[in-house]
Chain A
């Protein structure tokens, strides 16, 4: 029965997302059209004359009135056709299928790395206020939020590639010598493991190292700070005091009572961090020549490539809807109160 309640709630959440996504479609459609600039003139090329611009406009379907364009767009969308990104010459679906995993691989690896560092750091800082751990935490948090990612990226690149030569040439997801593994997940690290190719796994990991550290430095700050604050709060709470008074082991108090309750705001923060790290990706992708979704979207926006921008926004919308859902589900796992409602 509990499962029934849960899956019903998941379904309800998914249904709630439908109007949101439709709204995003409409707004995005209108906003791209409101961008200054004439894509037909741009894509017709520098030397094109009036007739050829008109021809390109017709090819792009931009000679139609706007409501017609929208109907065509939604119709194509329902058939799974996202259109062609003229700026890159590929279909939007192809671009997303290739670039989204590239960005996600980077983002998720960075989040994982920052979680592994930030949560223990935050917990330690909270249990030992004003000790050296706390100061280290404070330093990392301040550095993390105040250093722009492109700067951290360039600085790391300068030290570890240019000066020391430890990192491989920052030329994208794989060194020139390697071919991409067969696509299963689109994550090169995972796909190379599935293919059982260790050399390839190491090569893709090496390319990821610097961008991941760059992003992790950036994401570490909010997570560590939130962990520390939440831990301080729970450690000062009545139930922890009660648990201590009841003579429970300090380990049990810390992990089962304080930490589990402190996790809730941390998970919420994680969702937020994930969303803005996808945005921060753009700069890191540029510096490390990473063929990700961020640089694709920015380029498309600059040249008013409507189909590409719309495809990007749509995929991001879907991503966030599922992310929020996932976070809600995680809540029910860690917070007993949420799962017992109804």
Chain B
């Protein structure tokens, strides 16, 4: 037995634990070996361990991913560059070992995995699933909205037929229902623990689960110091997948981007989640660091023209703007060439891939010509707004767009809006004439994107676009199976209208960048953009 193996043994055996001074989480040798412990740095903060609680932020979703199981999950696919991504088209079992859908697609029956237990040893039953999904549709806020997207709206739809059989009844067949069950929201909670900690004012135990997760997932939370760190400890009895390689993952909150960069460059940490494009480009060239950049599915950074603003009511003005944007320059200077260009496509829509390149590119002559046909040939003034919390890409983009618009006589004044106000002003009140927007849909079908972004009144239609043909098409297509013969022509038509009417001008498809210590394998991109630590493998 060599020294390394001895040390490895010592940390896993409880005999070893007693040798460690009380104040130490683990002996320094274990960290040095770093085969059992991963350290991940993030810029955000975990503000709850319960994804259903109102106020839980995006960063905290990862607790739901790593500590809880869902009925189903997605498979893995390899990207063209060799990196890994979840596979939307391949729904895989997680807590349900199998499932059946009846003929008309409205009843889904799941068989719960045999022998699966919660962390406290209690077997996972269909009653737990029922309680958990009831909770998600009852608490309101984001979980309820996300459940609704999969046509899961009321507790009456969920039935526990026996301990291991769970049934969902849909009002009508929808292709979104099954994938929606694989999002981070419909987690399975240990209902016995939760109910024991529920009160009359708090029947869903939000106060308890906020601090004390009660799940069956691959990792438990062994320590949470809010505002500092979260420590995941592996659940060796995890039933729903291969045992994770890391015994322990320490998640540290480091707000300053430059500090996070220094930490990964010095090799003090295993991974740095969600790094800016500039760093991704520069770090990729360094030795000992691996950067994985994955285009974010169903997401486009766009310039939106609000049709409530008088000049933008004229389609030709919107098109003129789309022809006047220096796309290439923006992609280089704001995106550091990370991502997928979304301009300069063909005139005709030939595929239903989404996102896809728009037919527009920088062509000032065309822009001026179009503008000259309108009442606004002498130009006009318009404020161009962006969200300050995404200033890293939005600010350079806005400046370049401002220059482009100046070329065709439109004077844009830049307005920066603080992150906290952005949602209210841009998405709820929808009163920004010209603004940058970054919506991305979790469920990866084009019609889902169009649903949120092109139907009047829906949240990410921040530009009040309203076209009856488009609305009708989306409503028809949203629940339609992708194998339906009408599906492809419908989506194609939606894309055609979107490019013709161009209320939302696509700029580029962004990437999610994660930096790893060289040799760490197994990272998988997920639509929720959080780190799934379960498949990570040490160097």
How many residues belonging to A are interface residues under a CB distance threshold of 8 Å? 60
Given A161-B262, A303-B420, residue A169 in contact with residue B268 (CB < 8 A)? yes
B259 touches A179 (CB 8 A): no
B228 touches A172 (CB 8 A): yes
B140 touches A302 (CB 8 A): no
Given A55-B140, A89-B48, residue A165 in contact with residue B56 (CB < 8 A)? no
Tell me which residues across on chain B come within 8 A of A302, comparing CB atoms. Answer: 418-420
Separation in Å of the B25 CB from the closest CB of chain A? Answer: 5
B406 on interface, CB distance cutoff 8 Å: no
Q: Indicate which residue in B58, B145, B228, B229 contacts A49 across the interface (CB closer than 8 Å).
A: B145
B467 on interface, CB distance cutoff 8 Å: no
CB contacts under 8 Å to B, within A170-186, are: 170-173, 176-181
What 16 additional pairs, Cβ within 8 angstroms, besides A44-B142, A176-B250, A199-B23? A42-B424, A44-B141, A46-B58, A52-B54, A53-B428, A55-B140, A87-B55, A88-B226, A95-B227, A154-B258, A170-B259, A171-B268, A172-B229, A176-B37, A197-B23, A289-B255
Tell me which residues across on chain B come within 8 A of A304, comparing CB atoms. Answer: 420
Given A41-B428, A55-B54, A170-B263, residue A178 in contact with residue B23 (CB < 8 A)? yes
Tell me which residues across on chain A come within 8 A of B48, comparing CB atoms. Answer: 89
CA A171 to CA B272, docked complex, whole Å: 13
A199 touches B21 (CB 8 A): yes
Tell me which residues across on chain A come within 8 A of B57, comparing CB atoms. Answer: 87
Given A37-B421, A89-B47, residue A45 in contact with residue B228 (CB < 8 A)? no
CB contacts under 8 Å to B, within A118-136, are: none
B252 on interface, CB distance cutoff 8 Å: yes
Tell me which residues across on chain B come within 8 A of A195, comparing CB atoms. Answer: 23
CA A55 to CA B53, docked complex, whole Å: 12
CA A171 to CA B43, docked complex, whole Å: 12
Q: Indicate which residue in B141, B269, B421 contacts A36 across the interface (CB closer than 8 Å).
A: B421
A200 on interface, CB distance cutoff 8 Å: yes
Per-residue interface assignment for chain B, residues 48 to 88, with 1 indicating a CB less than 8 Å from any chain A CB and 0 otherwise: 10000111111010000000000000000000000000000
CA A44 to CA B459, docked complex, whole Å: 13
Can you identify 21 A-B contacts, CB atoms within 8 angstroms? A43-B54, A43-B55, A47-B142, A47-B146, A55-B54, A87-B55, A89-B47, A89-B48, A89-B226, A95-B226, A170-B263, A172-B253, A176-B39, A177-B25, A180-B225, A197-B21, A287-B259, A288-B256, A289-B252, A291-B227, A303-B420
CA A170 to CA B423, docked complex, whole Å: 33
B25 touches A179 (CB 8 A): yes
Tell me which residues across on chain A come within 8 A of B254, comparing CB atoms. Answer: 170-172, 289
Tell me which residues across on chain A come within 8 A of B24, comparing CB atoms. Answer: 177-179, 199
Per-residue interface assignment for chain B, residues 260 to 277, with 1 indicating a CB less than 8 Å from any chain A CB and 0 otherwise: 001101101100000000
Per-residue interface assignment for chain A, residues 191 to 217, with 1 indicating a CB less than 8 Å from any chain B CB and 0 otherwise: 010010101100000000000000000
How many residues belonging to B are interface residues under a CB distance threshold of 8 Å? 57
B47 touches A87 (CB 8 A): yes
B268 touches A286 (CB 8 A): no
Which chain B residue has the least Cβ–Cβ distance from A99?
B227
B329 on interface, CB distance cutoff 8 Å: no
CA A296 to CA B253, docked complex, whole Å: 13
B497 on interface, CB distance cutoff 8 Å: no
Tell me which residues across on chain B come within 8 A of A172, comparing CB atoms. Answer: 228-229, 252-254
Tell me which residues across on chain B come within 8 A of A41, comparing CB atoms. Answer: 423-424, 428
Which chain B residue has the least Cβ–Cβ distance from A180?
B225
Which chain A residue has the least Cβ–Cβ distance from B210?
A89
Which chain A residue has the least Cβ–Cβ distance from B260?
A289
Given A41-B424, A302-B420, residue A287 in contact with residue B256 (CB < 8 A)? yes
B397 on interface, CB distance cutoff 8 Å: no
B141 touches A48 (CB 8 A): yes
Per-residue interface assignment for chain B, residues 497 to 509, with 1 indicating a CB less than 8 Å from any chain A CB and 0 otherwise: 0000000000000
